[in-house]
């Protein structure tokens, strides 16, 4: 193995390790939530490997449980994953010269935490081996952690009583992601408008109220950002 | 809920959104750029989508607005746990604790 790959891997792993511990409750809760809507252990772990995106998994579970139409489930997953388009665009220059299979693997493994902690260092480095090590080591670690602790949740869910309202764990998990996200004014506006829009438009056919609410939320957040910038020009 | 092969197809379809979004710029491998305005607007998509999933669940009971239900009380506790403390387990323990206390202890719906 290449020396600078190893150095990159060590640095990436060290930087990501503390944050990755915070993933453990997510993974366990996602495991429990997948079982709580009636997925078998095999189906739950299948979803965990195929989808490998906590927000999209937790967000689509209530729709799968309710028997929502496939297009709505996929559209919701797509919206919940849209942030990755931004991450992908930001990271693409760092991987531009890599073989196709490297780029496929790094796409499948791209998660918020690794991007947040390491994207700056990876984009700054001129050494392609170092960049790959720094990205792939924490990303694989994150994947392993996610699968192992989801399995703990999947197997643990079976021993918990059915009338404990465990499906609410998924809602709590979505809130735990949402709350820190809403720290800035426009983000909070986007969240409130999106949520209230979905509540008020719940009567729309085909559960279109959910998509309408999301569109309203994005528009409101964007408008709030413009309004804030006009008020206090930077 | 869909069963068997349909469920697996659903899971594959959900999974395709993961690889499509994450690979959107990495897989083509070109130094393409997203238009700045679109990039800024997309930043609000996750927050709007999460809230659009969470708020109907905690504000509605049987399709009707109910501002005094156990789930909303639990949601308020979850928000407090997230903003006041750093422990990653606390929101789950506190939220489920309040929900179960109100539902099992007081028999609320």
Which residues in chain A have Cβ-Cβ distances shorter than 8 Å to B32?
89, 92
Q: Which residue out of A64, A85, A189 would a mutagenesis test of the B interface target, given it has the greatest number of B Cβ atoms within 10 Å?
A: A85
Same domain, A115 and A187: no
pLDDT 10s digits, A158-198: 787 767 787 788 789 889 889 988 999 999 999 999 999 99
pLDDT, mean of residues B2-13? 90
Q: Is there a single domain that holds both residue A217 and residue A132?
A: no
Residues A159 and A204 in one domain: no
Residue showing tokens 């710029």: B25
**Pair A146, A203 in one domain:** no
Domain containing A39 equals 3-163
Kindly state whether residues A158 and A206 are assigned to the same domain.
no
Report the pLDDT value the prediction gives residue A112, as an integer from 0 to 100: 84
Q: What would the mean pLDDT of A76-100 be, rounded to a whole number?
A: 88
Q: Output helix, strand, coil percentages for chain B, rounded to the nearest 5.
A: 65, 5, 30
**Interface predicted TM-score (ipTM):** 0.85
Tell me, what's the pLDDT at A99? 93
- Residue ranges of B 42-81 with Cβ closer than 8 A to chain A: 42-60, 63, 65, 71, 74-75, 78-79
Last residue within a domain, chosen from A105, A128, A163: A163
Task: For residues A233 and A214, give the distance between their C-alpha atoms in angstroms, rounded to a whole number.
Answer: 28
Tell me the pLDDT tens digit for each residue of A101-160. Answer: 999 999 999 998 888 788 889 988 999 999 999 999 999 999 999 999 999 999 998 787
Disruptive mutation site among B7, B50, B54, B56 for chain A (greatest number of A CBs within 10 Å) = B50
How many structural domains comprise chain A? Answer: 2
Q: Where are the domains of chain B?
A: 1-32, 44-109
Q: What is the mean pLDDT of residues A36-44?
A: 94
| A154 lies in the same domain as A186 | no
Residue B32 pLDDT > 70: no
On the question of pLDDT at A27 being above 60, the answer is: yes
pLDDT recorded at residue A6: 96
Residues A35 and A129 in one domain: yes
Please check whether residues A157 and A199 belong to one and the same domain.
no
Question: For A34-38, A70-74, A85-89, A187-191, which range has the lowest pLDDT when averaged over its residues?
Answer: A85-89
Residue A134 lies in a domain: yes
Between B13, B26, B95, which is nearest A74 by CB?
B13
Kindly identify which residue of chain A lies nearest to residue B71, measuring between CA atoms.
A168
**Residues A132 and A109 sit within 8 Å (Cβ to Cβ):** no
Q: Are residues A147 and A186 in the same domain?
A: no
Between positions 47 and 76 of A, the ones with CB within 8 A of B are 47, 50-53, 55-57, 59-60, 62, 64-67, 70, 73-74, 76
B44: nearest CB among A64, A196, A221: A221
- Do A127 and A230 share a domain, yes or no? no
A83 within 8 A of A53, measured Cβ to Cβ: no
| A177 in a structural domain | no
pLDDT digits (tens, 9 = 90+) for B60-79: 998 899 988 999 999 999 99
Reported in sequence order, the residue ranges of A37-144 that DSSP labels E, i.e. its strands, are none
CA dist B50 and B55 (Å) reads 9
Q: What gap in Å lies between CA A65 and CA A166, rounded to an integer?
A: 14
Same domain as A213, residue A104: no
Assigned domain for A114 exists: yes
Asked if residue A15 lies in contact with residue A143, where contact means CB atoms within 8 angstroms, the answer is no
Which range (A74-83, A132-141, B5-14) has the least confidence? A74-83
Asked if residue A12 belongs to a domain, the reply is: yes
Q: Please indicate, yes or no, whether residues A119 and A222 belong to a single structural domain of this protein.
A: no
């Amino acid at each position: 193995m290449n020396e600078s790959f190893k150095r990159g891997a060590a640095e990436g792993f060290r930087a990501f390790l503390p944050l990755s511990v915070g993933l453990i409750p997510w993974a366990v809760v996602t495991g429990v939530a997948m079982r709580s809507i009636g997925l078998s252990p095999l189906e739950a772990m299948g979803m965990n490997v195929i989808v490998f995106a906590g927000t999209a998994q937790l967000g689509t579970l209530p729709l799968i449980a309710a028997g929502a139409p496939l297009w709505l489930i996929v559209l919701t997953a797509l919206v919940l994953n849209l942030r990755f388009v931004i991450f992908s665009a930001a990271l693409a220059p760092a991987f531009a010269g890599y073989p196709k299979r490297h780029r496929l693997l790094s796409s499948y493994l791209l998660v918020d935490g690794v991007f947040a902690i390491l994207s700056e260092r990876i984009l700054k480095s001129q050494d392609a081996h170092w960049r790959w090590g720094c990205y792939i080591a924490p990303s694989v670690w994150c994947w392993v952690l996610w699968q192992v602790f989801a399995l703990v949740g999947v197997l643990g869910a079976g021993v918990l009583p059915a009338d404990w309202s465990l499906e609410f764990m998924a809602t709590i998990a979505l809130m735990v992601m949402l709350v820190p996200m809403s720290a800035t004014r426009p983000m909070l506006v986007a969240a409130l408008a999106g949520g209230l829009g979905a509540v008020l438009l719940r009567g729309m056919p085909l559960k279109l109220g959910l998509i309408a609410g999301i569109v309203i939320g994005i528009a409101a957040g964007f408008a709030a950002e413009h309004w804030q910038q006009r008020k206090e020009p930077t | 809920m869909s069963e068997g092969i349909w469920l697996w197809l659903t899971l594959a379809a959900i999974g395709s959104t993961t690889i499509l979004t994450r690979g959107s710029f990495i897989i083509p491998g070109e130094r393409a750029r997203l238009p700045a305005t679109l990039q800024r607007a997309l930043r609000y998509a996750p927050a709007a989508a999460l809230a659009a999933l969470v708020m109907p669940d905690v504000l509605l009971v049987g399709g009707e607005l109910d501002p005094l239900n156990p789930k909303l009380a639990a949601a308020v506790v979850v928000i407090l746990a997230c903003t006041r403390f750093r422990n990653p387990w606390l929101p789950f323990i506190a939220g489920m604790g309040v929900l179960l206390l109100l539902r099992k202890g007081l028999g609320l719906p």
